[in-house]
Structure 1
Amino acid sequence: MNILNSLLGKINSPAPKDVAPQTEAQNQSAKTEKTKITVLVPCYNSRKTVAATLKSLQASQYTELDVMIVDDGSVDSIEDIVQGFNDPRFRYFWKENEGLGLTRNFGINNALGEYIFFLDSDDVIYPDSLSNLINYAQEHQLDVVSGVTVRKIFETGVESEWYRSLYKQNSINELKNRLSLYDDTLSTNKLYRVATLQQHNIFFEVGLYEDKVFTSKLYSKIDRIGLIDNRVYVWYIYGGGTSITTTKNLENFYGRMAAIRNLWQYLPELRRTYQMGFFMNHDLLIYLREFVFYSEEEKKAIYLDALDFVQTNKRYIYTRLVSNSLNRACLDALCAGNEEKFIYTANILSSTFQDELSKKAKV
């Protein structure tokens, strides 16, 4: 019998007559310890990184885990790596390649835990991540709890926190007051009750940037979402365009635009104004910063797709939400349908940004 089961056995044994009854806090603690969490680790050619991911799970203070390692049609199987951990909580699956979203859906449909947490195979969690999430979920009877994500550049170790302003203190975000939470488009910093996802048909869809659509569904359907101020997830950023988040080619741009159009149906009316600002300040901006590297045909393609989106949703544009001068000039060009001005301005924006990057690299 392991230590955890031994402790649970003591908790569940009848108390001697001369021992005081357990407090409500102790009962809650015992309940939390018994609640199983499924951690879904989707893998695709992950031999170089998955061991660190699984080690972070073994270091978790919360031990009542069902870890599903799903190999999504990798060329190089990781089954031997998983077996090397010799951990009975680790379940290995191999399936034909379907993509990240459908792999996560596989986890939702085959989880043994009451809750599920998504952990990518090139990221890690902190030892207290799952404990902090489940404790808050059960203390406040929540179906979803979200925590702070740390973006960490793998090569340098430089860290930044993803939308820390949303997580200043522990709180419960309600649907009637939900607006800025839509900024956090990540699915990997959250703990979900499995039955709730199934009941509300909150699953991932096929395509790039599945998280954007998934979290928009989540935010539009779940009334109470817990927010905790603890760091719960380390999102590694790798150089050389090795992940979807660092790839900025035309295909990737089209994938992002498709996701944005899809999530639009889940946004409350007031949020759409802010989403247009987010589109210019983030979604489109990351491609404008790379604009000088695109061919003339690619530049025109980006302009035409952005033009269609802006013109279709023109009524939601509030220009003061776009403060950057060159970025604002690009928005003005899209509103006016001025291709020449857009491409000219985007080239200047990109050149300026790339020059600043070069200067920082030399320091």
Structure 2
Amino acid sequence: MSVTVVVIGYNDAPHIADAVASACAQGEAVSEVIAVDDCSTDDSVHVLDGVAAHEPRLRVVRRTVNSGGCGTPRNEGLAHATAPYVLFLDSDDVLPPGAVDALLRAARTTRADVVGGLCVRRELPGGRELPWQRELYAKRRTLDEPAALPRVAADTLCVNKLYRTDFLRAHAILFPPGRYLYEDFVFTARVLAARPRMALVPDRVYVWHVRRDEERRSLSLDRDGAENWRARVRAHRQAVAELSGQPTLVRAARAGFLDRGLRMYVRELPRHDPAYQRAWWDLTRAYLTAFAPADVAAAAAPARTAAAVVRNAPAPRDLGRLRDLVSKPSRLLPPSARDETGTPVWAADLPGVPLTHLERAPMGRLPLTVDAILKPAARGSRLRLRLHELYGRVAEAGPVAVQAALVHRDTGRVVQRRSASLAPGPTPGTWTASLRLRLTELEAGTWDVWLMLAFADGTTRTTQPRALTSLGHLHRTAIPSRRHGLVLVHPYATHSASLALRVAPGMRGMGDVVRRKVGRWVR
């Protein structure tokens, strides 16, 4: 038994050799690597020819017309595949060592038509890795058909799976051709609709590189215009149509759309102009009319609430508040409105969005909001915190203390755990605390701030504080340091509005920051 790895690429000469090398490094289980070049205009062909000269397993297929998407080159690679199993790989990603062996071993022992494994998103250049669908691949499973575990429909990736080649051909399963964004939504749905026997393994089988700083972003990361969302909705609608004969998979697919797609784009809404916001809102409202109440109920609470706000509000509103709600960690900012019956609702003028789940949710899952201001200083930087009430649940639990910790984003190293008491704040419905941090002791890199709130009833809640951006405290500060001379500290708000800080110790570190800024300005 052997595997064909299909590598697709377009104008990706800097990375495609690494992708091919990672496939060839899988060993004897890979009998061939088919690299489909989608009519590149850079040096991709020369790079591939150079690799092929020393690697007999590599076959290079050159397209004479660019397809505009990923589906056509993948289909072409599949048509050339000769091995019993096939695996897809994008030119800017890599297969980790042992990936093919892990997938093929599961295929042999379970007689599965499709085997899926853990994909990790690697943020570059930092290298931080985030598992994709971690819970789905937490342990080994064998499914007689996908409906035995409906949430497999939420994993829309096609690259973290090994497919039996004859299975795909017998069911005529192909990717949508041409410029069709999110083509893997449709392909995955077609695979699931054919009711394959499936195996899931916890092994890392794919490394998805996310290069946000590069001049040419990937199709899925290019979300500046409303057309990207329109393409995502179109692909998801088609995927649901492919699954129409399996209602449990349709429900899981729609819940996955809300939990991932809707939340991701809602987080970005505040930074777009009003024309984009209106176009996005109208398109989303129209699409959500197809969702049954049970489809929405299957999603996580923040996604359910956001969907309800969009469906009930005729025009964009509360975008900053929605962004905080759907971020991770989830936060719900005041006001804590109630309708005429006393039921918690999103807003007094939007009673069709009830928040009754907040009255029964455990403290550890409540979307609590803690505002933060960090003032860097040489003799100890002060972190001021303010916890907000949430429909009476905070006062009921009795906040008593908070512990703050700094966590290095790339290494996970935890330093400077500091604790302080929480006392009633000057504004009703708030509690405040103040802690001192020694920022001059931090190593270079990006540091996230994490909090653990403790309550008198014995419960706790772990969260990240929200950076207050309106008070002018988020600016770079050079702090004198005995060890480094100077340390440049830059508190900032992340995409989810959480407080984080970048640290550059010494004159060399400060010079690196200046050079990066100049480089971005020149581009």
TM-score band (shorter)? 0.7 to 0.9
Shift in alpha-carbon separation, 1:145–1:276, aligned structure 2, 3 A: closer
Q: Does the CA-based 8 Å contact 2:12-2:92 persist in structure 1?
A: yes
Equivalent in 176, 197, 200 of residue 227 of structure 1: 200
Shift in alpha-carbon separation, 1:351–1:129, aligned structure 2, 3 A: closer
Pairing 1:79–2:45 present:
yes
How far apart, CA to CA, are the structure 1 residues paired with 2:311 and 2:29?
54
Q: Residues 218-238 of structure 1: CA distance to partner in whole angstroms, max 9, x if unpaired?
A: 112133111112111111111
Pairing 1:106–2:82 present:
no
Equivalent in 156, 173, 189 of residue 185 of structure 1: 156
SS of corresponding position for 1:74: coil
Tell me the equivalent position of 1:20.
none
Tell me the equivalent position of 1:55.
21
How far apart, CA to CA, are the structure 2 residues paired with 1:243 and 1:101?
14
Q: Residues 18-71 of structure 1: CA distance to partner in whole angstroms, max 9, x if unpaired?
A: xxxxxxxxxxxxxxxxx3311100010111111211221232133542111111
How far apart, CA to CA, are the structure 2 residues paired with 1:304 and 1:271?
26
What is the identity, as a one-letter code, of the residue corresponding to 1:174? D
Tell me the equivalent position of 2:121.
151
- Extract unaligned runs of 5+ from structure 1: 1-34
1:286-325 matches, cutoff 5 A: 286-319=264-297, 321-324=299-302
Shift in alpha-carbon separation, 1:38–1:276, aligned structure 2, 3 A: closer
1:30-45 matches, cutoff 5 A: 35-45=1-11
| Shift, 1:174, TM fit | 2.5
Greater Cα shift, 146-155 or 50-59: 50-59
How far apart, CA to CA, are the structure 1 residues paired with 2:62 and 2:191?
28
| Shift, 1:351, TM fit | 7.2
SS of corresponding position for 1:231: strand
| Shift, 1:316, TM fit | 4.0
Q: Does the CA-based 8 Å contact 1:36-1:112 persist in structure 2?
A: no
SS of corresponding position for 2:318: helix
Tell me the equivalent position of 1:127.
97
Q: Mark the structure with the bigger radius of gyration.
A: 2
Equivalent in 263, 267, 277 of residue 255 of structure 2: 277
How far apart, CA to CA, are the structure 1 residues paired with 2:106 and 2:239?
28
Q: Does the CA-based 8 Å contact 1:150-1:162 persist in structure 2?
A: yes
Pairing 1:360–2:495 present:
no
Pairing 1:69–2:45 present:
no
Tell me the equivalent position of 2:182.
209
| Shift, 1:242, TM fit | 1.3
How far apart, CA to CA, are the structure 2 residues paired with 1:118 and 1:320?
31
Tell me the equivalent position of 1:5.
none
| Shift, 1:328, TM fit | 4.4
What is the identity, as a one-letter code, of the residue corresponding to 2:190? K
SS of corresponding position for 1:291: helix
Q: Residues 143-176 of structure 1: CA distance to partner in whole angstroms, max 9, x if unpaired?
A: 2111111111121110111112112222212224
What is the identity, as a one-letter code, of the residue corresponding to 1:55? A
Structure 1 or 2: more strand by fraction: 2
Shift in alpha-carbon separation, 1:137–1:276, aligned structure 2, 3 A: closer
How far apart, CA to CA, are the structure 1 residues paired with 2:115 and 2:299?
29
SS of corresponding position for 1:303: helix
Shift in alpha-carbon separation, 1:62–1:230, aligned structure 2, 3 A: farther
- Extract unaligned runs of 5+ from structure 2: 328-465, 468-492, 504-523
What is the identity, as a one-letter code, of the residue corresponding to 1:133? L
Q: Residues 284-311 of structure 1: CA distance to partner in whole angstroms, max 9, x if unpaired?
A: 2211111122221111111111111111
How far apart, CA to CA, are the structure 1 residues paired with 2:201 and 2:74?
23
Tell me the equivalent position of 1:14.
none
Greater Cα shift, 146-155 or 62-71: 62-71
Shift in alpha-carbon separation, 1:362–1:39, aligned structure 2, 3 A: same
What is the identity, as a one-letter code, of the residue corresponding to 2:40? S
Tell me the equivalent position of 1:97.
66
Q: Does the CA-based 8 Å contact 1:330-1:345 persist in structure 2?
A: no
Q: Does the CA-based 8 Å contact 2:252-2:298 persist in structure 1?
A: no
Task: Give the TM-score normalised by the residue count of structure 2.
Answer: 0.59
- The percentage of counterpart residues that share the same residue type is 28
1:2-13 matches, cutoff 5 A: none
| Shift, 1:136, TM fit | 1.6
Q: Does the CA-based 8 Å contact 1:330-1:346 persist in structure 2?
A: no
Pairing 1:165–2:129 present:
no
Tell me the equivalent position of 2:218.
243
Tell me the equivalent position of 1:339.
314
| Shift, 1:202, TM fit | 1.1
What is the identity, as a one-letter code, of the residue corresponding to 1:262? Q
Tell me the equivalent position of 2:240.
264
How far apart, CA to CA, are the structure 2 residues paired with 1:319 and 1:57?
41
How far apart, CA to CA, are the structure 2 residues paired with 1:209 and 1:153?
20
Tell me the equivalent position of 2:334.
none
Q: Residues 95-140 of structure 1: CA distance to partner in whole angstroms, max 9, x if unpaired?
A: 0211211111111111121211101101111221111111221222
CA RMSD of aligned residues (A): 2.1
SS of corresponding position for 1:161: strand
Shift in alpha-carbon separation, 1:309–1:77, aligned structure 2, 3 A: same
Q: Does the CA-based 8 Å contact 1:149-1:235 persist in structure 2?
A: yes
